[in-house]
């Protein structure tokens, strides 16, 4: 817990990691108590700890209607140590970076909105799919967890640092952030097809689209006073992100864009006709493009600051090594 009190950990990271730890620990304790109870009742009964479910915390298709709050609690309900560690890393890295741009409250709101809507749609699809296949077994399989927001952070990174390069294994793997969501969606879809399961492709795809829709059309954040605005426009807030670099088609490879652009444009027009979204005008698009440029400048400044800090630490270490070597040689003389 001393780590959670660190001064360098953002507020959103502390809150989210605390909720994750509390929810997952509570789930484990309840599963353990249920396991012991079942074994005491019948020592010969074969019980799998992994298969024990806690319906009022986990997202179980068969019982969600009786425990609707599980759409929210299951966001942080991990059932294994590996998924708990992975979710902790994603929440820490994602929230720490994004809070610089949004503030901690918007980060928390984003996780809960994306996670809960993703879980709701996922469980509805699971119920319909299981009914259609007359599969009662999967009705008791838990859903939810960090997968409900993993792709949410990928979409945010695409919005904030689309041109940032990720280099792994000394350059053996090199790709841009903006290509990562599509690549992972393809991999997870193939995985689901291979194993004949809707999971993890369905919640990942839902999380991706819900995150984009929210950020593109509905997110409300404070406006930067340095940006150009109309005199009759409320400059206190900006709704959505109409920038050209954050269009849905920009998430897909160039070879697919000519085919996807007319489809996405048609969906956009239908959504406007149904009054689901408000159309963007030229001023809003221009303002969003300016904000995108300013974000990129801010990211560049952060990267330069980090690089300078790393270089300074390396310089200090090098000086210390040289000083220690000189002291040793002086001692020998």
The fold adopted by the segment(s) 3-218 is Rhomboid-like fold (1.20.1540)
| pTM recorded for the entire structure | 0.82
Per-residue model confidence as pLDDT tens digits over 52-76? 999 999 999 999 999 999 999 999 9
d(CA 143, CA 60) in angstroms, rounded, equals 6
**What are the CA-CA distances from residue 117 to residues 102, 120, 124, 154, 156 (Å)?**
21, 5, 11, 17, 17
What are the DSSP calls for 138-197, one per residue? GGGS-B-STHHHHHHHHHHHHHH-TT-EEEETTTTEEEEGGGHHHHHHHHHHHHHHHHT-
Query: What tokens does 251 get?
Result: 């998430």
What are the DSSP calls for 256-296, one per residue? GHHHHHHHHHHHHHHHHHTTSSPPP-HHHHHHHHHHHHHHH
Domain ranges of the chain: 3-218
CA angle 250, 212, 116 (to 5 degrees): 155
Q: Tens-digit pLDDT profile for the chain (333 aa)?
A: 444 455 578 999 999 999 999 999 999 999 999 988 888 888 777 888 888 999 999 999 999 999 999 999 999 999 999 999 999 999 999 999 999 889 999 999 999 999 999 999 999 999 998 888 877 777 888 888 899 999 999 999 999 888 777 665 555 566 678 888 998 999 999 998 888 888 889 999 999 999 999 999 999 877 554 444 444 444 567 789 999 989 999 999 889 999 999 999 999 999 999 999 989 988 888 888 888 888 777 666 655 554 455 455 555 655 565 566 566 655 544
């Amino acid at each position: 817990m001393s780590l959670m009190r660190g001064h360098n950990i953002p507020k959103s990271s502390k809150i989210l990691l605390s909720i994750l730890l509390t929810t997952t620990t509570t789930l484990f304790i309840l599963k353990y108590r249920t396991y012991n109870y079942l074994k005491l009742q019948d020592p010969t009964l074969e019980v799998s700890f992994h298969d024990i479910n806690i319906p009022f915390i986990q997202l179980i298709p068969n019982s969600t209607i009786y425990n609707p709050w599980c759409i929210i609690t299951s966001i942080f309900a991990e059932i294994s140590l590996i998924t708990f560690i992975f979710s902790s890393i994603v929440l820490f890295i994602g929230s720490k970076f994004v809070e610089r741009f949004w503030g901690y409250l918007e980060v928390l709101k984003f996780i809960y909105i994306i996670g809960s809507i993703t879980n709701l749609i996922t469980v509805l699809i699971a119920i319909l799919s299981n009914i259609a296949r007359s599969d009662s077994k999967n009705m008791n399989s838990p859903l939810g967890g960090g997968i409900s927001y993993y792709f949410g952070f990928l979409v945010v990174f695409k919005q904030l640092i689309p041109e940032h390069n990720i280099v792994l294994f000394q350059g053996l793997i090199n790709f841009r952030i903006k290509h990562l969501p599509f690549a992972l969606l393809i991999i997870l879809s193939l995985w689901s097809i291979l194993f004949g399961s809707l999971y993890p492709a369905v919640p990942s795809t839902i999380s991706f689209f819900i995150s984009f829709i929210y950020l593109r059309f509905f997110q409300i954040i404070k406006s930067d006073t340095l940006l150009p605005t109309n005199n009759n426009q409320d400059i206190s807030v900006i709704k959505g992100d109409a920038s050209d670099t954050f269009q849905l088609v920009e998430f897909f490879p160039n070879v697919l864009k000519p085919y996807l652009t007319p489809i996405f444009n048609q969906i956009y027009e239908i959504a406007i006709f149904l009054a689901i979204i408000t159309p963007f005008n030229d001023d809003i698009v221009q303002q969003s493009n300016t904000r995108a440029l300013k974000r990129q400048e801010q990211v560049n400044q952060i990267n330069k600051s980090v690089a300078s800090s790393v270089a300074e630490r390396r310089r200090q270490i090098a000086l210390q090594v040289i000083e220690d070597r000189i002291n040793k040689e002086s001692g020998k003389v």
